[in-house]
Structure 1
């Protein structure tokens, strides 16, 4: 009798694991972030696609295929993610393995050309102080995660002429640019 119960339990576990594995599939989800719930290793973004479907995307460093590509999103951003799609009750969940695209709301993009005044090393790259041809000062954040791949990364030296493209923003009174492309 005891052996029969053990065999029955093992058979049940095998069937359950087959069924649970078959309900998980890889998918790509795109949409606008309508809410963010902070978590231990990251956050869950509520993503609403153009058809009004809601997905709950768990975005955390341990879940990403490349942890260096972790990005923080804000409400109103548009995001495209890839990962395992599954359901919890009626809610559609996606365990995000890759952030394919992130378009931040109200971020101005621009190209600047100027001369490197100084370079300060950072954790993932460096910040270069750039004086543009018009005399404006920008602090350019240059890193592999922001550029997308190591092949696009380049270190500048003081006095070097550069042309950069990225998002312009302010920190206090300082002009900043998160560099997405090195153009020269």
Structure 2
């Protein structure tokens, strides 16, 4: 029995010495001190382990998505009126469920749950911009953000459309008789 344990001890000692030598050589190749290499190793210990990917069935995916959405909805109702970085909240919920946040969105996209953005025709865009200017003209003190909310279009989108039409007008393209103002 003593001989077997001694043999294992010698084997482990040899492996440990080889590992130390290997770590020392890596430090030399990187032109750093061995203590720096050990510091890095301790700092990034959990990060450097390879991830194990689990393959989920369609049913498991849908269950996880439902749980994710349920937890997200619960969080939103508990914190109504407060502002949070939803990306970080999504990451924490996903971490709790053991799946990456982007994986959830990929699954939702595969299944077709994600909302598709509404695409507007050029005529619709021009009409929204006309309405925006009309409301702005009638209520000069009204905040532009409020006007955009009334039209149910984000303000950056309206500003983008305005620039689009101004560029077309500058290049001699048709602008659908939109009345342009300075801003």
Instruction: Give TM-score scaled by structure 1 length.
Output: 0.27
Between 1 and 2, higher relative CO (CA 8 Å, sep ≥ 6) is seen in 1
Structure holding more helix per residue = 2
Q: Which has the larger radius of gyration?
A: 2
Higher strand fraction: Structure 1 or Structure 2? 1
TM-score norm. by structure 2 comes to 0.28
